[in-house]
Structure 1
Amino acid sequence: MARHVFLTGPPGVGKTTLVRKAVGALEAAGVPADGFYTEEVRQAGRRVGFDVVTLSGLRGPLSRVGSDPGPGSRAPRVGQYVVDVASLERLALPMLSPVDAGDGGGTAGKRVCVIDEVGKMELCSEAFVRSVRRVLAAPRLVVLGSIPLPKGRPLGLVEEIRARRDVALFVETCQPSLPPPVQDPGDLQRGRKQCGPVARAQAGESQGPALEAGPTCSPSRGGRAGPRALT
Structure 2
Amino acid sequence: MAHSNIKFFILTGDPGVGKTTLTKKILSILSDKGIKVAGFYTEEVRNNRVREGFDIISLEGKRGRLARDQSLLNEPTKFKVGKYGVLVEEFEQIALPCLAKVPDNQTCLILDEIGKMEFFSTSFKLKIKEIFSPTSNNVVLATIPIRKSDAIIESIRNNSKSKIWVVSLLHANIALYL
For Structure 1 versus Structure 2, the TM-score category normalised by the shorter chain is 0.7 to 0.9
Q: Which amino acid aligns with 1:82?
A: G
- 1:168 and 2:163 are equivalent in the alignment: yes
Residues 148-190 of structure 1 deviation map (CA, whole Å, 9 limit, x = unaligned): 1115xx322211111211111111112423389xxxxxxxxxx
Match of residue 98 from structure 2: 95
2:131 aligned to which of 114, 135, 143: 135
Contact 1:22 1:179 in 2 (8 A): no
TM-score, normalising length from structure 2? 0.88
Q: Which moved more, 1:164-173 or 1:137-146?
A: 137-146
What secondary structure does 2:132 align onto? helix
Return closer, same or farther for 1:40/1:162 CA change in 2, 3 Å cut-off: same
Counterparts of 2:120 and 2:176, CA distance in 1: 32
Match of residue 78 from structure 1: 81
- 1:107 and 2:105 are equivalent in the alignment: no
Q: Which amino acid aligns with 1:79?
A: G
Instruction: Give runs of aligned pairs for residues 80-229 of structure 1, distance below 5 A.
Output: 80-97=83-100, 106-109=101-104, 110-137=106-133, 139-150=136-147, 154-175=149-170, 176=172, 177-178=174-175
Residues 43-96 of structure 1 deviation map (CA, whole Å, 9 limit, x = unaligned): 0110000000111101010000014363xx652001100000001111001111
Contact 2:17 2:167 in 1 (8 A): yes
Counterparts of 1:179 and 1:135, CA distance in 2: 29
Equivalent residue pairs, number: 169
Cα RMSD after superposing both structures? 1.9
Residues 97-145 of structure 1 deviation map (CA, whole Å, 9 limit, x = unaligned): 2xxxxxxxx1113520000111110011111111112222364420100
Higher helix share: 2
Greater relative CO (CA pairs within 8 A, separation 6+): 2
Match of residue 49 from structure 2: 45
- Structure 2 unpaired stretches of 5+: none
Larger Rg: 1
What secondary structure does 1:165 align onto? coil
